């Protein structure tokens, strides 16, 4: 484990498990507040999702006249889920007073994804803030299709009162019984104002109707504060997933569900070119 502390904020990272966050703690009202506290009862806790987030139908896709197939790993459904770097080892590249950078180099040997790349993630701590910078370089000789997402779970048990969610204007991606898009969307006006998430079953993908430089979802903890989950212009989608009353995932995504097949938001990085993205959290 690697640890970082700065101005009351603390971060624990597991480099051997996809450089994922194990714990993120802030200091508010003279008390420590642990908003991310992975406890191994949720899947893909704080995982970095690449080369695709969310689901890939039957694990199959075609690219430039060739067919590829990822193993299915979606419990109870015939899909591939969340790419393949979420549990690989990362190398520590740099550690400063308030930031820590990790790198994973992939050589393109998987038949399902023969596109080599270098993936770097830089975690930057500020007072009650966490910024995450991601840099992806195509180290191969052909254009590389990809998408990226992040899968943080936020503790819902920090206060006695139910947490409340607020989202920007979005369109709901309609899905079938396997949670794969049907091609239809509907205007979503849920959570336009702060609304309790208690007893609500949520596992939905939303497309932002307006893309700004900084696009935010807010999770309010009554009598404690409000958490901003923000994503830059590279992320037109967000997935909201609440498996139970203990925690809820709010997931920035650069592309939609099954993006290798729908092409919705897919990114194509030319040979030897890079793609940079930013997202973050702020408690106020």
Per-residue pLDDT tens digits for 2-33: 999 999 899 999 999 999 999 999 988 788 99
153 bridge partner residues: 249
What domains sit in the chain, N to C, each tagged with a CATH number?
2-283 (2.70.98.10)
- pLDDT at residue number 40: 72
Question: Per-residue DSSP letters for the chain?
Answer: -EEEEETTEEEEEEGGGTTEEEEEEEEETTEEEEEEE--SSSTTTTEEEBS--SEEETTEEEETTEEEEPPP-STTSSEEESBS-TTS--EEEEE-SSEEEEEEEE-S--TT----EEEEEEEEEETTEEEEEEEEEE-SSS-EEE--EEE-EEES-SSSSPPEEE--SEEEEEE-TTS-EEEEEEEE-TTSS-EE-TT--EEEEEEESS--SSEEEEEEETTTEEEEEEE-TT--EEEEEE-SSSEEEEEEESS-TTHHHH-TT-EEEPTT-EEEEEEEEEE-
**Predicted TM-score of the model (pTM):** 0.95
- pLDDT at residue number 41: 62
What is the chain's pLDDT, residue by residue, as a tens digit (284 residues)? Answer: 999 999 989 999 999 999 999 999 998 878 899 999 987 766 799 999 999 999 999 999 999 999 999 999 999 999 999 999 999 999 999 999 999 999 999 999 999 999 999 999 999 999 999 999 999 999 999 999 999 999 999 999 998 899 999 999 999 999 999 999 999 999 998 999 999 999 998 999 999 999 999 999 999 999 899 999 999 999 999 999 999 999 999 999 999 999 999 999 999 999 999 999 999 999 99
Per-residue pLDDT tens digits for 111-142: 999 999 999 999 999 999 999 999 999 999 99
């Amino acid at each position: 484990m690697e640890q970082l502390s700065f101005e009351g904020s603390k971060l624990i990272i597991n480099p051997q498990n996809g450089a994922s966050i194990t714990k993120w703690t802030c200091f508010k009202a003279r008390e420590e507040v642990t908003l991310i506290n992975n406890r191994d009862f949720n899947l893909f806790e704080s995982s970095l999702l690449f080369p695709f987030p969310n689901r890939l139908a039957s694990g199959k896709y075609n690219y430039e006249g060739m067919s590829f197939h990822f193993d299915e790993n979606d419990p109870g459904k015939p899909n591939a889920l969340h790419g393949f770097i979420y549990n690989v080892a990362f190398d520590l590249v740099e550690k400063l007073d308030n930031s820590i950078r990790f790198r994973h180099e992939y050589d393109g040997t998987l038949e399902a994804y023969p596109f080599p790349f270098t993936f770097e993630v830089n975690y930057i701590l500020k007072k009650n803030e966490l910024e995450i910078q991601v840099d992806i370089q195509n180290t191969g000789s052909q254009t590389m299709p990809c998408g990226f997402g992040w899968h943080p779970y936020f503790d819902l048990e920090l206060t006695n009162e139910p947490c409340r969610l607020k989202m920007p204007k979005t369109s709901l991606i309609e899905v079938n019984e396997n949670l794969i898009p049907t091609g239809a969307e509907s205007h979503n006006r849920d959570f336009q104002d702060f609304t309790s998430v208690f007893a609500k079953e949520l596992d939905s993908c939303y497309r932002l109707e307006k893309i700004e430089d900084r696009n935010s979802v807010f999770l309010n903890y009554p009598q404690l504060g409000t958490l901003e989950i923000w994503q830059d212009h590279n992320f037109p989608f967000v997935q909201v997933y609440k498996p139970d009353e203990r925690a809820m995932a709010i997931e920035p995504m650069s592309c939609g569900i099954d993006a290798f097949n729908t092409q919705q938001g897919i990114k194509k990085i030319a040979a030897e070119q890079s793609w940079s993205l930013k997202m973050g959290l702020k408690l106020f």
